[in-house]
Structure formats: C-alpha cells, structure tokens
Amino acid sequence: MQIVNDDKAETIVSAWTKGKNVAAAIALGRTIAEKAKAKKITAVVFDRAGYRYHGAVKALADSVREGGIQV
C-alpha cells in the first residue's frame, strides 16, 4: 500500500505484507496509519484499483480508519 501525492507524482508513505488475507490487511492498515500520522497526514482518498470493496480490501480501509486517518 502507498500514500501518494498525485500532484507531485511522489510516494509519501509505503508498506507491504506477504499475506493476502484479512489479518494481513488489518496489520498493513495499522502500519500505514502509524506512518501517515508520523508524516502528519490526516486524510487520504482510498483507491481500490478495481477490487471489490469487501474482505481484505474492506479490512484494510477499516484498519486505516481505526488508526486515525480519515479515508
């Protein structure tokens, strides 16, 4: 997952996980939220890249929200 500034075409925050399940998505969301808060990012636009909003994709977004980032 990345947080990208589209205007400047730069990656601000990134993290990855080997897993593709809900538990891995939750952990990844927590990590991204922590890194975003460290960079003073409070809100992001969630681009699901064509994936349906359910399962791991939903868990990722919910985890980022729980971490204090407005999605």
CATH number, domain with residue 30: 3.30.420.100
Residues contacting residue 17 through CB under 8 Å, at least 6 positions apart: 24, 25, 27, 28
pLDDT at 56: 92
27-55: average pLDDT: 93
Domain region containing 45: 2-66
pLDDT at 27: 96
Task: Report d(CA 7, CA 30) in Å as an integer.
Answer: 25
> For the chain, what is the domain count?
1
Indicate whether 71 belongs to any domain. no
pLDDT at 70: 94
